[in-house]
Amino acid sequence: MNYTLHQLEIFKKIAEVKSVTKASEQLFLTQPAVSIQLKNFQDQFKLPLFEVVGRKLYITEFGEEIAKAATKILEEVDAINYKSSLFEGKLAGKLTLSIVSTAKYAMPYFLSGFIKENEMVDVTMDVTNKMSVIRALENNECDFAMVSTIPKKLKIESIELMKNKMVFVAGKNYNFPKEGINYKNLNKSIFIFREQGSATRLAMEKYLIKNKIEIARKMELTSNEAVKQAVIAGLGISIMPIIGINYALQNGDLQVLKIKGLPLETYWNLIWLKSKNLSNVAKAFIEYMKNNKDEIIEKEFRKFNNSSKY
């Protein structure tokens, strides 16, 4: 037999997702390339690794055993590469992050340079709501979290990153009252909220309560992207972070409702538990962020921080 590590990786992924198409997408390969490697791998065995019934792919019992063996082999290869990197003085290991959903527009830019400098570092990033992020941090399920509101009940260390500006937005066909927008006539609209536990929702609720804005009708959606699409479709209005809607504003799909007291401003923060026993990878990431965050913010986010048009 003369199969390659690349073929093992491809078959392992196909066995996981039960689809050549999905495997090709997750491996960032073309579907024909994956199909060719699968055929070449299968040709080295007398027994079938899979079968196609209708349009669905099924892994045979023999194929499942080969997939398990492939997993063990690839894990050993990773271990060899990891040990080799350590002896060569390279940084190797895992970095785990839990971030609130709107932070997904920012964190990749902070990670990019670090990952390019350290090829043996693997990153796992969970994108969820604020409550789940804090829970993951509290339960030591992640190295770092990225939030706009620092939890008071936890003893943490933090690095302040960038401004998080939030504005009231409506769809392009929003009917502006003749007398102009004010707190009283806002209540004629449907208010679109994020789910409970979202920092964006909390900021929106505080603003509405502070300014005694009545809510006659409301809608609740579970992601920032869903809220954006609902507002674009004209279902209602909402307070949203500019960083997640910039292109929709530029394209004219959304428009900012200029109301007193806006934009709201908070700061994104990278946080971690004071008591956490940080790995060498985590320590290196902290140093990288301290040394490079200002340059990254200036290069990638200046338009959000310095813009006065909102």
- For the chain, give the percent of residues with pLDDT over 90: 59
The total number of structural domains in the chain stands at: 3
Q: Compute the mean pLDDT over every residue in the chain, rounded to the nearest whole number.
A: 89
Per-residue pLDDT tens over the stretch 150-180: 888 899 999 999 989 999 999 999 887 766 7
pLDDT score of 75: 85
- The pLDDT of 59-87, averaged and rounded, is 86
Q: Are residues 67 and 130 in the same domain?
A: no
DSSP per residue over 104-144, as a string?
A: GGTHHHHHHHHHHH-TEEEEEEEEE-HHHHHHHHHTT--SE
Final residue before a domain boundary, out of 87, 117, 151:
87
Q: Are residues 206 and 78 in the same domain?
A: no
Domain range for residue 133? 92-162+267-306
Q: Are residues 232 and 195 in the same domain?
A: yes
Q: Is 167:194 a contact under the CB 8 Å cutoff?
A: no
Per-residue pLDDT tens over the stretch 242-254: 988 988 998 999 9
pLDDT score of 83: 75
pLDDT score of 87: 64
pLDDT score of 85: 64
CA distance 304 to 309: 10
pLDDT score of 304: 65
Q: Are residues 155 and 169 in the same domain?
A: no
CA distances, 17 to each of 57, 126, 152 (Å): 10, 20, 41
CATH of the domain at 182: 3.40.190.10
Q: Are residues 97 and 158 in the same domain?
A: yes
Q: Are residues 277 and 129 in the same domain?
A: yes
Final residue before a domain boundary, out of 55, 87, 119:
87
Q: Are residues 168 and 23 in the same domain?
A: no
pLDDT score of 88: 66
Per-residue pLDDT band at 129 (split at 50, 70, 90): confident
Q: Are residues 247 and 172 in the same domain?
A: yes
pLDDT score of 178: 64
CA distance 173 to 233: 9
Question: In the structure encoding, which two tokens stand for residue 41, read together?
Answer: 């791998």
Q: Are residues 22 and 67 in the same domain?
A: yes
Does pLDDT of 26 surpass 70?
yes
Q: Bridge partners of 271?
A: 145, 158
Does pLDDT of 72 surpass 90?
yes
Does pLDDT of 86 surpass 90?
no
- The pLDDT of 215-223, averaged and rounded, is 90
Per-residue pLDDT band at 133 (split at 50, 70, 90): very high
Per-residue pLDDT tens over the stretch 266-292: 899 999 999 999 988 999 999 999 999
Does pLDDT of 89 surpass 80?
no
Of residues 209 and 120, more confidence is placed in 209
CATH of the domain at 69: 1.10.10.10
Q: Are residues 107 and 83 in the same domain?
A: no
Q: Is 264:203 a contact under the CB 8 Å cutoff?
A: yes
Statement: the pTM of the whole predicted model exceeds 0.95: no
Q: Are residues 133 and 206 in the same domain?
A: no
Q: Are residues 275 and 146 in the same domain?
A: yes
Final residue before a domain boundary, out of 87, 114, 142:
87
